[in-house]
Amino acid sequence: MFHGITSDSPNRPDAAPGKRWLRAPSKLARILMLAGSFSLALLQPTVSVAAIANSTAEQLSILQIEDHYQALYPHKQLIEQQYQRYPRQVAQIFHLLKQHHLPAELALIPMMESSFNPQAVSPAGAGGLWQLMPATAQRFGLTVNDQTDERFDLARSTEAAVRYLAFLYQKFDRNLPLILAAYNAGEGRVQRTLAKQPDTPFSALELPQETLSYVHKFYALKDLLSLASLAEHSPAAESIRPLNARQKQQLAALFARREIIDMSPIAPLIAL
């Protein structure tokens, strides 16, 4: 992981006198780092993004991940503070992921979905920290009716979301990009795409652009944050100041997503 430096940026529209802002590391340097051990020839302009994607361990586009990383980096501290506001819930998330033998980085999904806002509601009706649709929430054990909506219960919604992720983890053979795509676009859509395009690299799948962007942004966020720090060093929620209006707008813009969930066909709930 590259660590950035701070610099005064008076030309930023949200800059304040004397305020120091995070500046992202060199884009080229980070692309070289992400490229890892495969040939630097792949980074030549004559080579397609698809060729680069085919050469990565996760079959993702390094260039797309890096574009998201550069956009997120100036807001790193704000993103970390959102996790620090809910230390008990963050601890529960990591505990449940470990209990279900799921990757710890799935703890980043609430930031992707709701900017870690337990009261978030989307125009399409997804709600809560994990932005569960009513049918999905009910499918995995939550009560959603006119009197009670457990999607906004931090503990209960997290239990349901992790059960859903465990289901997707098995359904898509532990393939993390496909799991993320299914969480975003719906498992039915991902299944149909895989049936039409077997043995196709992820970045070449005919999935909505919003879904491809969602997955690449997840990997950028994973690279930006220290999961160990989030899990072990969360300060008391009382020590974190509430978000002001500008910060809420920043997070909403960074993690805005369109509702494209297509849950059909939905398989019966299985025991996990």
Specify the CATH number for the domain of residue 170. Answer: 1.10.530.10
Question: Is residue 5 assigned to a domain?
Answer: no
Chain centre distance of CA 263 = 19
Query: H-helix or E-strand containing 228?
Result: helix 227-232
- Whether 262 is covered by a domain: the verdict is no
Q: Side chain identity at 93, as an amino acid letter?
A: I
Is residue 219 in some structural domain? Answer: yes
> Per residue in 148-193, pLDDT tens?
999 999 999 999 999 999 999 999 999 999 999 999 999 999 999 9
Of 66, 113, 150, 187, catalytic:
113
- Is residue 34 domain-resident? yes
The CA distance from 226 to 161, in Å, is 22
- Give the model's confidence band at 17: pLDDT under 50 very low, under 70 low, under 90 confident, else very high: very low
The whole domain housing 71 covers: 22-254
- Told to judge if 113 belongs to the known catalytic residues of this protein, a careful annotator would answer yes
Residue 8 lies in a domain: no
Domain count, the chain: 1
Backbone torsion region of residue 119, taken as left when φ is above 0, otherwise alpha when ψ lies between -120 and 50, otherwise beta? alpha
Mean per-residue pLDDT of the chain: 79
Residue 6 DSSP code: E
With 0-12 / 13-18 / 19 or more C-beta atoms within 10 angstroms meaning exposed / middle / buried, residue 150 is buried
User: pTM of the prediction?
Assistant: 0.74
CB 174, CB 192: distance < 8 Å: no
**Coil, strand or helix at 103:** coil
